[in-house]
């Protein structure tokens, strides 16, 4: 490819003459006109109306210049309008450079005019340096499949599926159990309207069944994933149902014929999932669990008597096939929605309460099922809150729903048994928002006593089966000793086993509690893997209405990858294969795991996964990675220009790399607020502090810049998760480099700034400048 010699047109716009008032504008324009590759310099009168713009367009049309540098203050709308207009004349949008010298303090009249002039020129030269290296770019369209996969068929999964199906997308719903419904199917009632969860579930299921776009994969799990957003290739493994989904009409003949009764376990019912505590015995063949949808029955083969074929014989529809084997299926989807839900925390670990030791100590989930069936005779029932939750020995967090769940259970218990006395042992009652009403209502019920104090041990009351509970009533300081007929432990939520398994398969990061990590507030349902969304309790403990909200939101966010094509901005990373030595650092450090190996073993970003933060650029020890439109060569050229002196002798020159999300705004605000920003600082805006490659810093110092500042977001606030921290990590490599160059380590500084911290920006630049003055000039200074 022949090398393109750039031809640059510089257009300066100075409404109100602000620049002219502070600088020798004509002189500057003359000097610029002599700069390399500059073919035109012009002071524009006004951009309103097409008069000026058409003169710019003229130059493009006749080939006078093939790229434009704009100097002055332009807001986003103006930039877009200009770019759009000139595109019509053949100027690619990425061949514009916008240089605002005012935001760098070049018009500050408190600074000596000589410095101002030189600085302004320097800034424009920097912009020119980058303009020379610009390339025309166009957004990419990656073909995408408009099918989605939802993993987990509980309420959140069902709602996500429904939201997508109603928008015309095809959905593959993958569920581990034989039926959908998840934990909600095990509840007796849920708040706020205290409806039967089966009603809510049935409502969603009916609407799903009516659609031909949904495909249910029950008894299935995701085993592997390949590809990227827009075209994930997912392999699903399916355990055999032994019953034909088409043929079975749930008549029940097989159940009658089946000779095997499965013993019930209190937590999970016969099929390793939720089933009523009481009722008809479960056989080896029976309806799906937890909810009998799909309607076809399922056989629990491990419970079958050897050689028995009674159900197969009895079935009038010939739907039973005991020889069925496991299968797998490969599907292609544009986005994946993870709604794998929660599991109850194993309460036997909270040993002091005797769960698992004494039959009358139940978990809140077991209480749900008890309330749904026949109640034993009860007089005194205790509820202990926060069992396992908010406890450093178990779960450090609050499980959100347990207080309201207990209140709801008491309401129902009192409805059925008005005489029963209920004691709630709590630390705090958390029933936020409109659930306060539920709390007040239950509190006022007769025979309900709230004890602010947690019991420490539970002992059997002789042989009666009752339980002795002792607590301090902290509000009165008195000792409470109660004999209870039933004790309900409000246990907490932990990420389900499905969550853990899926996290491995999808390589999805989880937070320290094992829930899927989401970037809260900014992108609550988006995980750190582009195209994969997380919703419901797999993200954090929440109640049913919140799960439904979360599910719907995830569906909306994921639509971007389900519209037939994925639009990718052209400013994606490029790996220079002539330089790359395949060290894989970029692959390891990318916060979104966007890199994979290409056929030659070089790292290649998946353009749909990549979020264009530039951390790969920063981490590469050979500076072999660039972002298009912000290549490392472009920035290096800017750095070289920045080194030319514009300050009087003895004044240190500082180059700052500011993250465009926070630090840059703080710097801009400092200038706008008229704060005393030292003129010694010239800054370069970067997408993330993690973009700053050590080579750029070394260059800056080698060219004679006295100090380099890198400012990123506060820890925990970086939009790219760890960009600001990665830069600090690399400072060790940097120290070695600097030592070899015999430059003081303190000439490079890493700081955190928040978006409005203009005062902080001024303080740190001022103190940096002072320290640099004390250190003396850079030994490399010419």
Site string for another protein, 364-403 (x = CB under 8 A): ----------------------x---xxxx----------
State the nearest-atom distance from the C-beta of 478 to another protein, in Å.
Answer: 8
Only segment of 216-224, 231-239, 465-473, 630-638 that touches another protein (CB under 8 A): 465-473
Region for residue 188 given its phi and psi (left: phi exceeds 0; alpha: psi -120 to 50; beta: otherwise): alpha
Rg (CA), the chain: 34
**Would you count residue 226 as binding another protein (CB under 8 A)?**
no
**Would you count residue 455 as binding another protein (CB under 8 A)?**
yes
Nearest to 537 by CA among 267, 340, 268: 340
Residues 6 or more apart whose Cβ sits within 8 Å of residue 162: 204, 207, 208
Answer for which of 440, 457, 511, 739 binds another protein (CB under 8 A) is 457
Q: Do residues 87 and 27 make contact, with C-beta atoms less than 8 angstroms apart?
A: no
Answer for which of 441, 479, 672, 746 binds another protein (CB under 8 A) is 479
State the nearest-atom distance from the C-beta of 348 to another protein, in Å.
Answer: 10
Residue given tokens 């109660």 in the structure block:
482
What is the C-alpha separation between 600 and 177, in angstroms, rounded? 42
Strand partners, 99: 71
Q: Compare residues 200 and 455 and give the one whose CB is closer to another protein.
A: 455
**Would you count residue 472 as binding another protein (CB under 8 A)?**
yes
Answer for which of 157, 197, 372, 453 binds another protein (CB under 8 A) is 453
State the nearest-atom distance from the C-beta of 406 to another protein, in Å.
Answer: 16
State the nearest-atom distance from the C-beta of 394 to another protein, in Å.
Answer: 8
What is the C-alpha separation between 330 and 235, in angstroms, rounded? 4
**Would you count residue 460 as binding another protein (CB under 8 A)?**
yes
Only segment of 154-162, 269-277, 471-479, 690-698 that touches another protein (CB under 8 A): 471-479
Site string for another protein, 410-449 (x = CB under 8 A): -----------------x----------------------
State the nearest-atom distance from the C-beta of 613 to another protein, in Å.
Answer: 37
Residue 26: is it exposed, middle or buried by C-beta count within 10 angstroms (0-12/13-18/19+)?
exposed
State the nearest-atom distance from the C-beta of 419 to another protein, in Å.
Answer: 25
State the nearest-atom distance from the C-beta of 510 to another protein, in Å.
Answer: 23
Q: Compare residues 453 and 614 and give the one whose CB is closer to another protein.
A: 453
Site for another protein in 77-96 (CB under 8 A): none
Q: Compare residues 107 and 384 and give the one whose CB is closer to another protein.
A: 384
State the nearest-atom distance from the C-beta of 756 to another protein, in Å.
Answer: 31
Residue 260: is it exposed, middle or buried by C-beta count within 10 angstroms (0-12/13-18/19+)?
middle
Sign of the C-alpha dihedral computed for residues 691, 693, 696 and 701 taken in this order: positive
Dump the DSSP string for 425-468: EES-----GGGHHHHHHHHTSTTEEEEES----EEE-TTSS-EE
Helices (H), 464-613: 497-506, 544-558, 585-589
What is the C-alpha separation between 607 and 144, in angstroms, rounded? 12
Nearest to 655 by CA among 681, 636, 686: 681
Q: Compare residues 470 and 633 and give the one whose CB is closer to another protein.
A: 470
For the chain, the straight-line distance linking the first and the last C-alpha, in angstroms and rounded, comes to: 37
Q: Compare residues 292 and 399 and give the one whose CB is closer to another protein.
A: 399
Number of other residues whose CB lies within 10 A of the CB of residue 440: 11
Only segment of 57-65, 259-267, 349-357, 613-621 that touches another protein (CB under 8 A): 349-357
Q: Compare residues 197 and 453 and give the one whose CB is closer to another protein.
A: 453
**Would you count residue 483 as binding another protein (CB under 8 A)?**
no
**Would you count residue 357 as binding another protein (CB under 8 A)?**
yes
**Would you count residue 477 as binding another protein (CB under 8 A)?**
yes
Site for another protein in 254-283 (CB under 8 A): none
Dump the DSSP string for 246-274: TT-----HHHHH--PEEPP-SSS-TTSS-
What is the C-alpha separation between 656 and 727, in angstroms, rounded? 14
Number of other residues whose CB lies within 10 A of the CB of residue 85: 16
Number of residues that bind another protein (CB under 8 A): 27
**Would you count residue 465 as binding another protein (CB under 8 A)?**
no
Answer for which of 474, 507, 714, 767 binds another protein (CB under 8 A) is 474
Only segment of 58-66, 123-131, 464-472, 735-743 that touches another protein (CB under 8 A): 464-472
Q: Do residues 401 and 430 make contact, with C-beta atoms less than 8 angstroms apart?
A: no
Answer for which of 265, 440, 456, 714 binds another protein (CB under 8 A) is 456
Residue given tokens 């050229």 in the structure block:
637
Only segment of 71-79, 124-132, 350-358, 563-571 that touches another protein (CB under 8 A): 350-358
Helices 694-702 and 632-643 cross at an angle (nearest 10°) of: 20
State the nearest-atom distance from the C-beta of 400 to another protein, in Å.
Answer: 17
State the nearest-atom distance from the C-beta of 541 to another protein, in Å.
Answer: 17
Structure tokens at 623: 């500076």
**Would you count residue 650 as binding another protein (CB under 8 A)?**
no
Answer for which of 433, 462, 650, 674 binds another protein (CB under 8 A) is 462
What is the C-alpha separation between 342 and 515, in angstroms, rounded? 9
Q: Do residues 402 and 385 make contact, with C-beta atoms less than 8 angstroms apart?
A: yes
Q: Compare residues 92 and 427 and give the one whose CB is closer to another protein.
A: 427
Q: Compare residues 209 and 478 and give the one whose CB is closer to another protein.
A: 478
Q: Would you call the peptide bond into 192 cis, given omega within 30 degrees of 0 as the criterion?
A: yes
Only segment of 8-16, 42-50, 194-202, 476-484 that touches another protein (CB under 8 A): 476-484
Answer for which of 239, 470, 596, 728 binds another protein (CB under 8 A) is 470
State the nearest-atom distance from the C-beta of 353 to another protein, in Å.
Answer: 9
Alpha-carbon dihedral 391, 394, 396, 400, rounded to 10 degrees: -90
Backbone angles phi, psi at 85, to 5 degrees: -65, -50
**Binding region for another protein (CB under 8 A):** 351-352, 357, 386, 390-393, 427, 452-457, 459-460, 462-463, 470-474, 477-479
């Amino acid at each position: 490819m022949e090398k393109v010699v750039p031809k640059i047109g510089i257009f300066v716009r100075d409404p109100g003459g602000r620049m002219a008032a502070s600088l020798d504008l004509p002189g500057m324009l003359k000097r610029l006109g002599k700069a390399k590759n500059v073919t035109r310099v012009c002071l524009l009168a006004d951009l309103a109306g097409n008069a000026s713009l058409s003169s710019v367009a003229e130059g493009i049309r006749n080939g006078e210049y093939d790229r434009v540098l704009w100097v002055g203050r332009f807001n986003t709308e103006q930039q877009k309008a200009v770019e759009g207009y000139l595109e019509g004349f053949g100027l690619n949008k990425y061949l514009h450079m916008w240089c605002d010298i005012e935001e760098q303090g070049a018009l500050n009249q408190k600074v000596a005019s000589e410095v101002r002039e030189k600085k302004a020129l320097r800034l424009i030269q920097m912009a020119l340096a980058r303009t020379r290296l610009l390339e025309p770019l166009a957004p990419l369209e990656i073909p995408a499949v408009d099918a989605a996969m939802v993993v987990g068929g509980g309420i959140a999964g069902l709602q996500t599926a429904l939201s997508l199906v109603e928008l015309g997308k095809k959905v593959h719903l993958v569920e581990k159990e034989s039926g959908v419904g998840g934990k909600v199917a095990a509840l007796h009632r849920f708040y706020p309207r205290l409806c039967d969860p089966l009603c809510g579930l049935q409502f969603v299921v009916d609407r799903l069944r009516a659609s031909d776009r949904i495909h249910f994969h029950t008894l299935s799990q995701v085993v592997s994933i390949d590809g990227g957003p827009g075209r994930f290739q997912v392999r699903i493994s399916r355990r055999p149902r032994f019953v034909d989904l088409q043929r079975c009409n749930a008549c029940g003949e097989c159940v009658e014929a089946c000779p095997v009764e499965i013993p019930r376990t209190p937590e999970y019912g016969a099929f390793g999932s939720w089933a009523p505590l009481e009722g008809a015995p479960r056989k080896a063949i029976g309806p799906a669990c937890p909810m009998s949808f799909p309607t076809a029955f399922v056989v629990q083969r491990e419970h079958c008597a050897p050689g028995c074929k009674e159900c197969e014989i009895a079935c009038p529809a010939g739907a039973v096939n005991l020889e069925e084997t496991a299968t797998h299926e490969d599907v292609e989807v544009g986005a994946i929605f993870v709604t794998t839900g929660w599991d109850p925390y194993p309460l036997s670990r909270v040993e002091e309460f005797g769960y698992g030791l004494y039959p009358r100590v139940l978990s809140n989930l077991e209480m749900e099922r008890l309330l749904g069936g026949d109640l034993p005779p009860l007089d005194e029932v205790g509820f202990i809150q926060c069992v396992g939750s908010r406890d450093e020995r178990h779960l450090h967090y609050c499980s959100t729903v347990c207080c309201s769940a207990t209140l709801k259970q008491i309401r129902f218990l009192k409805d059925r048994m008005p005489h029963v006395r209920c004691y709630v042992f709590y630390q705090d009652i958390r029933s936020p928002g409109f659930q306060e009403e539920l709390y007040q209502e239950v509190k006022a019920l007769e025979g309900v006593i709230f004890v602010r104090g947690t019991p420490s041990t539970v002992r059997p009351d002789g042989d009666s089966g009752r339980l002795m509970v002792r607590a301090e009533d902290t509000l009165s300081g008195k000792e409470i000793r109660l004999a209870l007929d039933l004790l309900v432990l409000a246990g907490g939520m932990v990420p389900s086993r499905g969550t853990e398994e899926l996290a491995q398969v999808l390589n999805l990061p989880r937070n320290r509690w094992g829930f899927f990590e989401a970037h809260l507030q900014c992108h609550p349902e988006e995980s750190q893997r582009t195209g994969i969304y997380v919703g419901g309790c797999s993200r954090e403990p929440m109640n049913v209405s919140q799960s439904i909200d979360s599910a719907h939101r995830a569906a909306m966010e994921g639509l971007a990858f389900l519209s037939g094509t994925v639009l990718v901005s052209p400013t994606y990373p490029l790996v220079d294969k002539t330089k790359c030595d395949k060290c894989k650092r970029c692959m390891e450090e990318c916060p979104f795991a966007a890199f994979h190996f290409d056929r030659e073993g070089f790292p290649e970003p998946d353009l749909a996964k990549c979020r264009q933060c530039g951390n790969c650029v920063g981490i590469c020890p050979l500076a072999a990675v660039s972002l298009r439109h912000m290549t490392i060569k472009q920035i290096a050229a800017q750095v070289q220009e920045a080194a030319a002196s514009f300050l009087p002798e003895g004044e240190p020159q500082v180059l700052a790399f500011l993250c465009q999300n926070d630090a840059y705004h703080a710097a801009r605000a400092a200038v706008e607020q008229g704060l005393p920003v030292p003129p010694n600082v010239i800054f370069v805006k970067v997408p993330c502090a993690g973009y700053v490659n050590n080579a750029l810093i070394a260059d800056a110092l080698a060219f004679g810049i006295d100090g380099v500042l890198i400012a990123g977001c506060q820890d925990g606030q970086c939009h790219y998760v760890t960009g600001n921290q990665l830069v600090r990590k690399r400072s060790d490599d940097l120290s070695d480099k600097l030592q070899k160059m015999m430059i003081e380590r303190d000439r490079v500084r890493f700081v955190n700034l928040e978006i409005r911290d203009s005062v902080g920006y001024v303080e740190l630049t001022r103190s940096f400048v002072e320290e640099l003055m004390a250190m003396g000039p850079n030994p490399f200074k010419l």
